[in-house]
Chain A
Amino acid sequence: MKLFGYSMREILLLKLFKLGDFLIFFIFITIIILALNYYFHLPKGDYLEISHGNEIKHYSLFQNKILIFDEIEVEINMGKARIKKSNCANQYCIMQGWISKINHSVVCIPNLFKISIKSKMLSYDSTNY
């Protein structure tokens, strides 16, 4: 494996890295680990937001339901959701599988279609009572 024309052995032998460089590597790796840890421990969501063209619709996640939007089929199964069928060529959206945690999304770009998990406790400015 070569980096900027140098092999890893050459890089290590030539002592091209200084303490500051390792510090930056360390900070980056720490941030990546923290971010991944945060990503995998996100709380579960409460409802599903579906963006279809210019329309945005919301559905409770706590139900068993199949939703059909033209050529796309979305399945909700007690707390999780997935795109089950789609007419897109690569089927990447189906390969994404189930999502259940806040802010997780599946996008089907050819159909301008997106499903996202949202939480009821997030994002409101004030309470009416």
Chain B
Amino acid sequence: MLAKRLSKLLFKYFSIFLLLLINSCSNSNFYEHKVLIYGTILEFKFYDTNLDQANQAIDQIVDKLNDLNKKFHPWEKSLISEFNQTHQINNCDQEFIKIIKIAKNYENVTHSQFNPAIGKLIEIWGFHEDIIKGQVPDEEDINKILATQPSLNQLLITDHSISTDNASLKIDLGGMIKGLALDIAKQTYQDMGIKNVLTNFGGNIYAHGKPDKRLWEVAIQNPHNNKLLLAKLKMQPGSAIGTSGDYEKYFIHNHQKYSHLINPKNGQAFSSYSSATVLINPNENDIGIKSDVFSKPLYFSENLVETSKSLQLNHFFTTDHKNQIFISKSFADEIIWLFNEGDFIVEVI
């Protein structure tokens, strides 16, 4: 009798314990998937989403990005590389023209601090090749291109064609294509009724919905050491984050680091900052594009307060080569620093 009672009691608690243990180890509500698209990792983390629906969304997004690649790859065979050779193409579809117009708009919004017409500068710095040779171009060549003031405003755009008289104008949308990909992902989720997914395309992240009762949490890489983390933050549903820096694609020549980000104002491949991060709040238009594009003017900014004001940016920070971090007040309130004491000095601006 006693043994039975004891056994029953123990069995009951043991079962509850096992259930709790199984439940705590379970991660079944999440579905993660990675795809490599033109050398960039596209990561998805779905929460509470039907597996077939998630895979269908991934396929749709990948198809659209492959299509974009065929149109906008700046040096491999594409519509844009054809334009960059001939300066005129007549077989553009509606979507192509729409994207060129978006790029032109953001060139104007950023006062040409983001300039997709400086493809030729990027090319002479040797970043229009799969393997970076590490060549520093002649100042004379840089100045020749700068003298023509390449801009998408020099394009003649019709419904099916684009052309220009500026022979130094070459289009490179590398500065906004990752953001555009996030906007395509966002549209796909909305069309398919997918509620909660975190999308990371080459480091640029869009938070769609949230996993259960918490928010999506994102870590930011330390620009001076890719094995360490700099900070962590919780992303509101519908927000996007992007970073531009000199630590992903660069070469070193005579002890000087040259990044693939070229300053449109002086044609140089270095900045006083090593990274610039922006967080775009929900409910803004082109949230992905803004998270990608707006980090460039900050990365090359000579006055962060003025630059951020002109872009109406509230959440941003930059890190410089002297381990200083300059962060906006709104962002400072939300971010959690993860670096060791003394590694960086934080200044709220």
- A positions within 8 Å CB-CB of B: 3-4, 6, 11, 14, 16-18, 20-21, 24-25, 27-28, 31, 46-47, 58, 60, 62-63, 120-121, 123-129
Contact = CB atoms under 8 A, between A and B. Distances in A.
Contact of A128 (B11, B14, B45, B241): B241
B340 interface: yes
Interface in B293-332: none
A82 B340 CA distance: 20
Given A6-B2, A16-B2, A21-B6, A128 B220 contact: yes
A9 to B, nearest CB: 13
B10 A28 contact: yes
Contacts of B340: 60, 62
B229 interface: yes
B67 interface: no
A57 B26 CA distance: 29
B7 A127 contact: no
- Pairs A-B, 5 closest by C-beta atoms: A129-B203, A129-B221, A120-B338, A16-B3, A124-B219
B34 to A, nearest CB: 11
A128 to B, nearest CB: 5
A40 to B, nearest CB: 19
A128 B243 contact: yes
19 contacts: A3-B6, A18-B3, A21-B6, A21-B7, A25-B10, A28-B10, A60-B337, A60-B341, A62-B341, A63-B341, A124-B217, A124-B218, A124-B232, A127-B219, A128-B203, A128-B204, A128-B205, A128-B220, A129-B226
Contacts of B242: 128
A37 B227 CA distance: 30
A93 B104 CA distance: 60
A3 B242 CA distance: 64
Contacts of A27: 14
A127 B338 contact: no
A4 B6 CA distance: 9
Main secondary structure of the interface of B (DSSP, over half): strand
Contacts, number: 88
A125 B43 CA distance: 11
Interface in B61-84: none
Contacts of B217: 123-125
Contacts of B5: 4
Contacts of B204: 128
Given A123-B217, A125-B216, A127-B220, A58 B336 contact: yes
Contact of B45 (A25, A60, A125, A129): A125
B118 interface: no
A37 to B, nearest CB: 16
B7 A24 contact: yes
Contacts of A128: 200, 203-205, 218-221, 241-243, 277
A39 B247 CA distance: 39
Contacts of B191: none
A126 B198 contact: yes
A125 B218 contact: yes
B346 to A, nearest CB: 11
B205 A126 contact: yes
Interface string B226-243: 100100100000000111
Nearest to A6: B2
B284 interface: no
A3 B178 CA distance: 68
Given A31-B17, A124-B219, A124-B232, A20 B336 contact: no
Contacts of A20: 7
